[in-house]
Amino acid sequence: MRALITGGAGFVGSHLADALLAAGHHVHILDDLSTGSVANIAHLKSHPQFGYTIDSVSNEPLLAELTDGADVVYHLAAAVGVKKIVEEPVATIETNVHGTEVVLRQANKKKRLVVVASTSEVYGKSTDFPFREDADLVMGPTHKHRWAYACSKAMDEFLALAYFKERRLPVVIVRLFNTVGPRQTGEYGMVIPTFVRQALLGHPITVHGDGQQLRSFTYVGDVVGALIALAQEPRAIGQVFNVGHGDEISMLALAGKVKALTGSASEIVRIPYDEAYESGFEDMARRVPDISRIKAMIGYEPRVGLDQVLAEVIAAMRG
């Protein structure tokens, strides 16, 4: 199989490239390095079945050529991280919506399978737990930029499913729930690398809000396994799948766990959302997936728990 990964120099994309190459597939990465890093793929450069191009998915002639040479397109390129989304709302919307539009248009010419990476953020402020793929999405008001990301990714899903319905383009949509592991950066607001970095440096571990918000975290290896398996399952085409872990933890408890595992003397400090992001920032109290659909489709079962994830992240960040 020949795979094209947009955003492939990013956290998830680089791990996906590792796994595909290990399975004997050919991989080409397209990344503009806006949030990805060449360091994430440096170890792959000498691999005979690996190639990469530093450019944007908006470069349509280039994307057309790369898509032509692929059997499957994993579309992971997107604006990521709450901090970046709040600070750069225009780039967020343009990158997510226009980038996906270009990918789908070019894939449609040769009917290449597209696996579109979406996000648990699309569930918005819903309180119908656990989140199911066929549940209603509850968005916040348009004047709060925090919801621009959720809406742009929901639009990606609508567009992908429209291409499937109207033009018979094979698409699979995955909603990722807090994917974590080595190589993830805290630069854009990702919580685990941020907590670990703060703990290792002896800085205050900063928890936003009251710290009671609940999240579930999924090991990147489990996510990558699901992405590969779904691309090889014809019954998955035209469907949306949650990819996550059912276990939940509060942010205060997570901070405490990181502090204990690093042996840090850092103080755990709570910071109001208004101070961390912007005035009127809204967050979800809970975000947990129903993973019964993906279990039924490919036998998905998350294998790696939070303690092991944290151990790997801590070891990687200690160098």
Task: Return the percent helix, strand and coil in the chain, to nearest 5.
Answer: 45, 20, 35
SS (H, E, C) 230-281: HHCCHHHCCCEEEECCCCCEEHHHHHHHHHHHHCCCCCEEEECHHHHCCCCC
- Compute, in degrees rounded to 10, the torsion defined by CA atoms 20, 16, 233, 63: -90
- Alpha helix (H) residue ranges in 140-183: 146-167
Q: Residue 288, class by beta-carbon neighbours within 10 Å (0-12 exposed, 13-18 middle, 19+ buried)?
A: buried
Residues designated as active site = 149
Find all residues with CB under 8 Å of 138, minimum gap 6, and list them: 123, 124, 125, 126, 127
Q: Coil, strand, or helix at residue 286?
A: strand
- Identify any residues that bridge with 206 across adjacent strands, giving them in sequence order: 269
Find, among 23, 30, 242, 261, the residue nearest to 13 by Cα: 30
Token couple for 89: 């709302």
Phi, psi at residue 196, to the nearest 5°? -65, -45
Find, among 263, 262, 267, 257, the residue nearest to 314 by Cα: 262
Give dist(CA 267, CA 161) in Å, integer: 47
Residue 61: count other Cβ atoms within 10 Å of its Cβ.
8
